[in-house]
Chains A and B, each alone.
Chain A
Amino acid sequence: MSSMTFGRAINAGLRKSLEDDPKVILLGEDIGKLGGVFRVTDGLQKDFGSHRVVDTPLAEAGIMGCAVGLAYRGYRPVVEIQFDGFIYPAFDQIVCQVAKLHYRTQGKVTMPITIRVPFGGGIGSPEHHSESPEAYFTHTSGLRVVAVSNPQDAYSMLRQAISSDDPVLYFEPKRRYHIKGEVKEHAEPSLPMGSAQVVTEGRDVTLVAYGPLVRTALDAATAAADDGVSVEVIDLRSLSPIDYSIVEASVRKTGRLVVAHEASQSGGLGAEIATTITERCFHFLEAAPVRIAGFDIPYPPSKLEAHHLPDLDRILDGVDRALGRRNSLSGLGA
């Protein structure tokens, strides 16, 4: 057990995977000498060589398509997409090839590719550096999608993603790279990659979050407790598939559901979770599920991002709405 930052935990996970399996190969822009624009791959090329930690030409479709070819050859590519908003040139290869080859070949070809994507906002960046594109991928069959929220999961779930024979989109919240936490290396992960986790138990309302907003949700739970409201926070961890058993059990207890994410609301994960929970727990719900999400806008300029990103107060407002307490929409009859 050692204390390390989020970014360092990912680095440790990559290092261990490179050590354990000679077929693991890292591909990305600036991941070699520079160690990545966030230094997440720092030192890996020096230790494993430029044939295993590969600085690629600046072309995301090219990186992803070559990863497919390497997987055909028996490799386990780990691709770094430098920023969330840069993933779209690779979208075709991810959606049409990575996701479908196993199905297309009736299981003959596997695509054990991990696609690391620093995602989300809150770091004051220019356009294309702060997006949350996860729903495009959760809508695509054949992919697994995870979002990590803390250094231990960053390490363990990366190792699980790389070991998985299915392709995994691994979303890492870039604004949390510098938070520290205890990380148990080399130990068996305590949960399967597809499991959600209750991170704070509560009685009154279930608050589901993932990635960067888990920490915000925990802060909101603390603040709500001061107000006498007991919030159960669930870290979703896996966005595809979603571990509904955990969410369902929680909502059966609390009767109220709030889902928070940075991504735009319409067609987002919140819609999917609210619908499924309504289908499964209708008679346990005391109120309509509430979504606290980014607006249906292109990611705004950084001077405006604080309005777009769900923060502690907006989440608490949603908690109040779920509880039927006075909130910003009170009186609208909603």
Chain B
Amino acid sequence: MKKSSNQTVFLTTSEVSLSNTSPRHKPPISNGILGMTIFIVTEAMFFAALISAYLVIRSGQDEWPPWGQPRLPIETTAINTIILVASGVFMFFSHKLFKKNKIIEGHRLMGISILLGSFFLIAQGREWLELIEFGLTVSSSVYGGLFYLIIGAHGFHVLGTILVLLYYWQKLKNSKNQIELENIFPFQILWYFVVIVWPILYTLIYLN
């Protein structure tokens, strides 16, 4: 085997570990963020499919929402929407502070963001309980099925993302370590995605 790597004189390469980043030029987008971007493309297609399913099924119905089905609470959910968007804004500024290396301030804003996100989730859960009481269930009509499918899919994303963010928030609280930030950034981006999808779903499903 030819030892071609004597070329790279500045590294005594045999001792230096071949980790993916160190001897290479730094990639323009970090691994975590690139991976998350690809994941978000898939997620966007997933939600696009749900939305198109909703539109296709709605277009085949004479009356929408169907007769006898409860109407959705537009006003309370509007407030809830504002809360979720606010959470996204806080997360955005927390990201900015992290980038400026202001970890303590960023950590605080991230906490507020997680709190608002959790509030959104709890409020949605309460809304579901009420709707079930009023007779809107998955099997009551295709309208109910679509409502729980789409809002539920979004709810699962909120829940999952919050849990991951909470985990890293907790870790950052103890260590204040910058390495944690590399792990946090991708999930902050995922949070933007989860926040941005919501107003679209709200407009489509609540304000029809």
- Mutual binders A and B: no
